[in-house]
Amino acid sequence: MVMYSAQTDEAVLAFFGKRMAAFRIRNNWTQADLAQKAGVGKGTVERIERGESVQVLNLVKVLRACGTLDVFLNIFPDDSPSPMQLLYMGKMKTRRRARTAGKKANDAIAVSDNSADYIADGARKNGAGLDRKNDWVWDEDK
């Protein structure tokens, strides 16, 4: 097993570029073919294969075109806890039945009863039982 951490950054990039060139040749792609599939310039592919620095976005495009982007993304493992780990840690909420936050049905009847009392009380305040300014009475206009 080769120890890459002991190598210089330039040596690692050169090694990566040689491996990518070998992968491209195994698939019978030219540098122009790979660049077209990745949506980058041919010079970008040449720089990667020479071990020179390129933008990370362009490297991601080339890796996607090679079908190796998932390997690149798995370099750093996902350290978020799984649902089972959350359950064992007690951090996952237990599911509860949803309840309505409104009033009960009996409260709605009480409100309608109270509104009827309010109208009746307001009508009684004028003495005759009707408020002539606001209430309409049948046959009043004749």
- Over residues 27-44, the pLDDT tens digits come to 999 999 999 999 999 999
Average pLDDT over residues 101-109: 56
Dist CA 62 CA 8 (whole Å): 23
pTM of the predicted protein model: 0.54
Dist CA 129 CA 131 (whole Å): 7
pLDDT for residue 123 is more than 50? no
The reported pLDDT for the residue numbered 73 is 86
Domains of the chain and any CATH numbers: 1-93 (1.10.260.40)
Dist CA 103 CA 37 (whole Å): 62
Average pLDDT over residues 13-40: 94
